Structure 1
Amino acid sequence: MLNQIFDQNTEQDVMMSEKMSAAIDLWARMYEDGGPWCNAKTGLHSCKLPVIISSEFARLVTLEMEVDITGSPRADFLQEQIKNFLIDIRTYIEFGCALGGIVFKPYVSNNQIVIDSVQGDDFFPTSFDTSGKMTGCVFVEQIKRKNNIFTRAEHHEYSNGTYTIQNRAFESHSSESIGTPIALSDVPEWAQLTPDMQIKEIDRPLFAYFRVPQANRQDRHSPLGTSVFADAVETIRDFDAQYGRYLWEFKGGELAIDVADDLLQTQSDGSIKMPERDKRLYRGHSVRAQDQSFYEIFAPQLRDESLARGMNTMLKQIEMQCGLAYGTLSDPQDVAKTATEIQASKQRSFSTVRDIQKSLQSALDDLIYSMDKLATLYQLAPQGSYQTAYDWDDSIVNDPQQRKQMYWQYVTAGKFPFWRYLVEFEHYTEKDAKEIANEAASNLSNPFDFKQQSGDNNAAT
């Protein structure tokens, strides 16, 4: 369909292989309904692990995230415009983690900058620079009305300081074809769009691509990102199958009583009627009562514990493949016991989160740059410089216990006041913390004086 979008002299090749396209489709399906193996034919139900994994990474990445744009009235305008976008940033990052990436594309509406989030299966890259940064992309939008499907393809391309935007619209009666070209004005929602536009004197595209920062093992030659659960696809499929066996263990092991047919009630049509107590409890057998005991109880021993242990082992494997700490998905009571193993497990998760945060910060820098250029182009706010500060809260990506221990060493060395340590790590109020520090200092024979330290820092504050 994309080959029909542009005229021959402006047509661009889509920089996405069939392998990569198929992988994105698979990740999207796993995220939405569990994957192609979860259907009525197989009888398998998804445990929603792709959703849980993507959501957990998005939570860890954005939990204490703060973005401040300062420096001028232009900076204040940009801060106000990005505020609503940041409220929902966790949702956008979850989509990006699930499908390998997401594009943030700002545009102007009613003298305000609105940010559109384009998920991984709704954009098609057309060019990358030598560093692997996306410089061209086609964004596809569809509107369905009755029997008509309207498709708009928006092509962005950056090259040598010039940014080109092309909009093309099509109408079709079938999802199998892009249809025939129509004017943008034929669709009310697109009537205000310009078919062709060029913007000069810029040094990067006016969109931002957030990419999951891990090696692309689906297509080693593609600069596109991969899902956070890409390396665990087969294990997730096996886990869903094992969970199906786990459920069947309970269903197949339900208590039942086998009774001879001639001891049950026979209907006029010759069928057997179960007692009213519970039809699941009694099962008829085509034998006579004198040929067997009055009844036999069917109550096999369940193997749920062994199945659960196997499933827990699979969850640990998935945690390893996705870069999560043990105990995130698996049973936290059944994790590595030694301090070294626990630290290594946590550090794996911290490192993964930190890498994603760096990638997101780079994408937000590109987004804010694009917003600044649009503000200049449409004269939305006075020109001026801006500085962007990011706060990710180091306690999320560093071991909290290690950080606590490090600051206690500062306290004992006289480099950090005891009362501030109590506020930071023991959650005392400043007033109570200073009272405790003063009391501790009065009982010390050591020349190191907590009271003096607390007073000095209080005065400085």
Structure 2
Amino acid sequence: MQFINFLKGVWQRMFPLKDIKQALGVKLAITDDMMQSIEMWQKCFAGQAFWLSDSVISLRLEQAITREFANITLNEMTASVSNDKLQKIFETATEDLNSELQSGLATGAMVIKPLGGDKVQYISANAFVPIEFDARHRLAKVIFPEFKKIGDNYYTRLEYHSLDTEKGLTITNTAYVSASEGQLGREIPLAAVDEWASLPNAVTYPAMLRPAFGYFRTPIKNTIDGSSCGVSVYANDINLIRKIDTQFGRLDWEFESGERAIHVDAAAFKKEGTEKLNKRLYKAVDVDLGDNELFKDFSPAIRQSDITDGLNTYLRRLEFSVGLAYGDLSNPETVAKTATEIKSAKDRKYNTVSAIQKQLKYCLDDLVYALAFYNSLTTSGYTFVCDFKDSILTDEQTERTQDIQDLSLGIMKPEEYRAKWYGEDEKTAKKNLPQASEVVD
């Protein structure tokens, strides 16, 4: 409860939601529970999970998960715009797509918002306020807050995008000032802040039937509040990640507590020359060890194997839960080797990545449209093509083909091939190899 209250306080400082709702007369499409969850996912992603302590450090599994999904998603993507000028703008605008997509996967959603020319701003779910989604769960109305502190005052600008199928796109800008952080305060002219002086109070684009940004949301069911807000790719696995960090803490403690030491009678330290003894290895004790036992070795057995096995079991469970393949996070030498399990793991990862790619394609399609709009190229007749490969599945066939070549060259033994692809140990595989007569027949 203390942590949840802390998160709620952070959100209130960033987004005075009650004030925003009253000032603009809008109904929010995000609940308190969802806001707190987004902030928690973001903190976990930044290595600031609430369960961390001196004895429990973060393994940064949240970054490992999002990085793996982002890498696979984008490594298989080819995207192009038929208009050369728009293509160059798009390439520049998406240079940081990989790292920013990781943030979007961590917080559940992100917006890629053009700023004019080839400049864009990547905004993850913890930095915008959704107001309304359409029937396809696309963001139709949203507020982008901007905060500044000048002197002792806190300034807020609310950029509100409202897309209507009949009226088009309307963008309004309002500014506010408060003497206290976390409060919207009173409305002031945009000109009160130099950087906002040139912005229009309101502008409408009747011909715009799509948003002026690209919106990405994770393809994961929202069980937090059932809304269209995206959820983190590890939203359902926070407790499991906590267990893994804690288990690693046990492993770390096992090494530390089992560190070799030589217990020395305190009297021995009084003798000449002992000041050069390694204080980490030699530890003085006030117990009388006897005249013949001034030194006593302390070298306990380390239970590394049991703790490591438990850690690896947790990691495999996490891989299954988030949609990764076995070996992406866990020790690849201990993963299942049967052909059925290998195929199942790769299918699981392929399905997850394919769903992410589908949502990203929607986002980039809208982004290109928005870039064309800001660069007066919407009527240029451009086409946008975005395709993805399926190397996650084809890698298995490629590997098997290579093994067959190695088999024919004598580099791989028949029993090794059979053991690998038929899920048998080498002894069983060798026994099940066809006899020469069977091959001839």
TM-score range, shorter chain: 0.7 to 0.9
Report Cα offsets for 1:149-204 as digits up to 9, x if no partner.
Answer: 32211111112332211111222343232233222222222222111111113323
**Secondary structure class of the residue paired with 1:138:** strand
**Residue 2 (structure 1) shift:** 4.5
**Is 2:154 the partner of 1:149?**
yes
The CA distance in 2 between the partners of 1:281 and 1:403, in whole Å, is 53
Q: Residue 34 of structure 1 contacts residue 48 of structure 1 at CA under 8 Å; is this kept in 2?
A: no
CA distance in 2: counterparts of 1:87 and 1:154, whole angstroms: 25
2:186 paired with 1:180: yes
Partner of 1:435: none
Post-superposition Cα deviations, 1:286-339, rounded to whole Å, max 9, x if no partner, equal: 233438833221110001111111111111011111100000000010001111
Q: Is the 8 A contact 2:369 2:378 kept in 1?
A: no
TM-score (normalised: structure 1) = 0.78
Q: CA shift at 1:4, angstroms?
A: 6.5
Partner of 1:24: 38
Residue identity matched to 2:397: Q
Unpaired stretches in structure 1, ≥5 consecutive residues: 268-272, 408-424, 427-461
Q: Residue 114 of structure 1 is aligned with which of 119, 122, 125?
A: 119
The Cα of 1:107 is off from its aligned counterpart by 3.3
Aligned mate of 1:402, from 397, 400, 403: 397
The aligned residue for residue 94 of structure 2 is 86
Could you tell me which residue of structure 2 aligns to residue 207 of structure 1? 213
Aligned pairs for 1:45-444 (under 5 A) are 45-70=57-82, 75-108=83-116, 112-161=117-166, 162-219=168-225, 221-265=226-270, 275-290=275-290, 293-375=293-375, 380-381=376-377, 383-395=379-391, 397-402=392-397
CA shift in 2, pair 1:76/1:5, >3 Å: farther
> 1:29 Cα deviation (Å)?
0.4
- Distance of 2:123 and 2:222 partners within structure 1: 20
1:12-57 Cα distance to aligned partner (Å, 9 max, x none): 12110111111101100001124011135xx321111101111111
| Cα-Cα RMSD | 2.8
- Farther-moved stretch of structure 1 (144-153 vs 351-360): 144-153
**Structure 2 counterpart of 1:19, one-letter code:** D
CA distance in structure 1 between the partners assigned to 2:399 and 2:81 by the alignment: 31
Query: Secondary structure, in 3 states, of the residue corresponding to 1:181?
Result: strand
5+ residue gaps, structure 2: 1-14, 407-441
- For residues 160 and 319 of structure 2, the distance between their equivalents in structure 1, rounded to whole angstroms, comes to 38
Relative to structure 1, the CA distance from residue 336 to residue 6 in structure 2 (aligned partners, 3 Å threshold; closer, same or farther) is closer
Where in structure 1 do 4 or more consecutive aligned residues deviate above 4 Å?
Answer: 1-10, 403-407
Given the superposition, is the C-alpha separation of residues 10 and 178 from structure 1 closer, same or farther in structure 2, using an over 3 Å criterion?
Answer: closer
Amino acid at match of 2:357: Q
* Superposed displacement of residue 9, structure 1: 8.2
CA contact (8 A) 2:350 2:390 kept: no
Q: What is the TM-score of this pair, normalised by structure 2?
A: 0.82
* Cα separation, 1, equivalents of 2:137 and 2:235: 20
Alpha-carbon offset, residue 146 of structure 1 = 4.5
Going from structure 1 to structure 2, the CA distance change for 1:287 and 1:199 (only over 3 Å counts) comes to same
Which amino acid in 2 is paired with 1:100? Answer: G
- Mark the CA change 1:315 to 1:184 in structure 2 (over 3 Å): closer, same or farther: same
* Aligned mates of 1:2, 1:206 — CA distance in 2: 25
Aligned residues: 391
Superposed displacement of residue 6, structure 1: 5.9
**1:77/1:381 contact within 8 Å kept:** no
Query: Aligned with 1:149: secondary structure?
Result: strand
Partner SS state of residue 121, structure 1: helix
Q: Percent identity?
A: 32
Aligned AA (1:234): N
